[in-house]
Amino acid sequence: MKPRFISVPIMGLMLLFASWVGTVVTQDLTINTLYKNPKQHMNTRIKVLMDQMTLEEKIAQMAQIDKRQVTAETLRDYSIGSLISAAGATPHENHSATPEDWVDMLNDYQKGSLSSRLGIPMLYAIDSVHGHNSLYRATLFPHNIGLGATRDPELVKRIGAATALETRATGIPYAFSPCIAVCRDPRWGRCYESYSEDHKIVEQMTEIINGLQGEIPPTSRKGVPFIGGRDKVAACAKHFVGDGGTIHGIDENNTVIDWHGLLSIHMSGYYHSVIKGVATVMVSYSSWNGEKMHGNKNLITDFLKGTLNFKGFVISDWNGVDRMTYPWSSNYSNSLLKAINAGIDMVMVPPNITEFLNIVTSHVKNKLIPMSRIDDAVRRILRVKFTLGLFENPLTDYSLVDQIGSQAHRDLAREAVRKSLVLLKNGEHVNSPLLPLDKKASKILVAGSHANDIGLQCGGWTITWQGISSKNLTDGTTAGSTILSAISAAVDPSTEIVYSENPDDALLKANNFSYAIVVVGEPPYAEGSGDNLNLTIPEHGLRTMTNVCRSTKCIVVLISGRPLVIEPYLSSIDALVAAWLPGTEGQGVADVLFGDYGFTGKLSRTWFKTVDQLPMNVGDKHYDPLFPFGFGLTTKPIGPS
């Protein structure tokens, strides 16, 4: 007997085919686009959109991918939630890429997302940690350790606004800032990303969130993300929680502290961030009392989302889920299961998007991850996207590029530099100060590896992840100045300046210098690459400092991300300035050296005598510092001459 469908008339087959095609077309045309209507309440828009999303589309929204791993077609086919420019990734991998190059790149990616079935825009993210630091010619501000020394939350808020504007000018709406770690041990390679060892200063500096995102309205509900316009970005409080308290300051290590200590020292900054409407929180690589933070449900879900009522989304750190096991990624499936169930909403940089999708989909279908957890994550992610206005304005343009490196921003950075400098020594006696310096001195020496290198004075997280030594890293001729060029511009035209990175004895003996300014310090570093158990000034810097200070009156300007061992050299130094990592505007250093402005900065960290004392923080029982927390000599401005 023949199969029955062979006897169906041809016309019937044609009608059946037409009916099937019509159903598919009708389904596409009848997608409820109410979620694209800005007049609708946000909760309505979120619900309408989520009701139409497949499981795979929801899980893809939970992924943030390195932009170098995807194409516009990937975004279209998978509806990926977010992209990141990681470790200095730039358009065409060109570190001199223009703002227009950035805009074009983002628009190309975004068009891929908009062509997906539901057209959900992707969220592009970058590490704007001291300005838009991946962008050539951007304004780069002092790193957080210097900003903590200013004790000026209003200044930090203005820096947040400038950073947001320059970041958004390139089309990027999401910045991984601020770091609200409370660094309790300067041996940690990320200590310069921390405002202070004192949680009270860190709390005050969360004011930067109001600069990055905009001032939260008084009527805003606690914990709900707020972003106030197209010149603002979604901020990210990081790294939750206790990252600055690890044993011996080892990056990604274990923080051993009781519940009261965790709350009072490390958690308070998150409370202040949440009430300011911070959009996202990033989880720390580190552990608390042996439990990896990426898997800590009690802290992420129960405390952050529950007790603190945080309504934004929680994101992992770079490969943070992979690093829950050792060797890394040795049990990625189980790590994803634990991390997502712990409350992580967006997973940064899955090494393979199909692997990520397949594993999480399998966990959901096997009822290991409840659907309610997926829906909670996607709802939070979409809330931030709607708050940013990405559905209304997914593409960007060149209209703000003239704000990048503007004079107003450079003046702000210069102000931040001069307020961040801490004067630790000023002559042997109070009645015989060396500073302010004489602008009309006949001949001065400028020495040291950091005097004429804008890359060294910016530190890590500058153009590249680890930073780099370069005299023209951000085009020093038009975008900022080295300390040497700032000194040259500050002194009287009649003053002769002799510059030598490492002057020899012959130069020092043959020239009768009025005084010498020696600028030395640490090389650039970021994260674990900066972990340092010795904290000594690099040998070539010590050699320059000792040779010069032995021969003439010397002012040492120390460029570093933390206090360094300064004994037994302090007695031979006439004046000592902690300049931290000041960024592109070296003029701020000259402003106070020559008395146009006075020194006002106060130590946001304890300056130890020896590393054997570490960790040592203000309030400790056996507190015996070289310079205590809050120390800082002041000078009176003499005004421009």
Q: What is the 3-state secondary structure (H, E, C) of 424-447?
A: EEECCCCCCCCCCCCCCCCEEEEE
Q: Are 531 and 249 in contact (CB under 8 A)?
A: yes
Tokens of 230: 């197209």
Q: Are 521 and 146 in contact (CB under 8 A)?
A: no
Q: Are 351 and 66 in contact (CB under 8 A)?
A: no
Distance CA 312, CA 383 (A): 7
Nearest to 533 by CA among 628, 614, 618: 614
Angular region, 131: left φ>0, alpha ψ -120 to 50, beta rest: left
Nearest to 238 by CA among 209, 217, 216, 215: 209
Q: Which of 166, 317, 322, 591 is catalytic?
A: 317
Rg (CA), the chain: 27
Clarify whether 411 is annotated catalytic.
no
| 120: Cβ contacts below 8 Å, ≥ 6 apart | 49, 57, 61, 79, 81, 113, 382, 385
Which one-letter DSSP state was computed for residue 538? P
Please calculate the CA angle 60-61-66 and round it to the nearest 5 degrees.
75
Place of tokens 């000792």: 546
Helix or strand run (H / E) with residue 273: helix 268-275
Tokens of 117: 């079935």
Distance CA 615, CA 632 (A): 21
Please calculate the CA angle 189-192-197 and round it to the nearest 5 degrees.
100
Clarify whether 415 is annotated catalytic.
no
Distance CA 181, CA 267 (A): 9
Nearest to 618 by CA among 631, 603, 633, 628: 628
**HSE, side-chain direction, 13 A CA sphere, residue 394:** 17
| SS3 call for 71 | coil
Q: Are 135 and 584 in contact (CB under 8 A)?
A: no
Distance CA 265, CA 470 (A): 37
Place of tokens 């690589």: 285
Distance CA 266, CA 253 (A): 15
Which one-letter DSSP state was computed for residue 172? -
- Residue 536, beta-bridge partner list: 565
Burial class (CB in 10 A: 0-12, 13-18, 19+), 125: buried
- Residue 24, beta-bridge partner list: none
Q: Are 473 and 131 in contact (CB under 8 A)?
A: no
Q: Which of 127, 203, 243, 527 is catalytic?
A: 527
Q: Are 495 and 444 in contact (CB under 8 A)?
A: yes
Biggest distance spanned by C-alpha atoms of the chain: 116
The order of strands in the sheet holding 287-288 is: 254-255, 287-288, 291-292
What are the catalytic residues? Answer: 317, 527
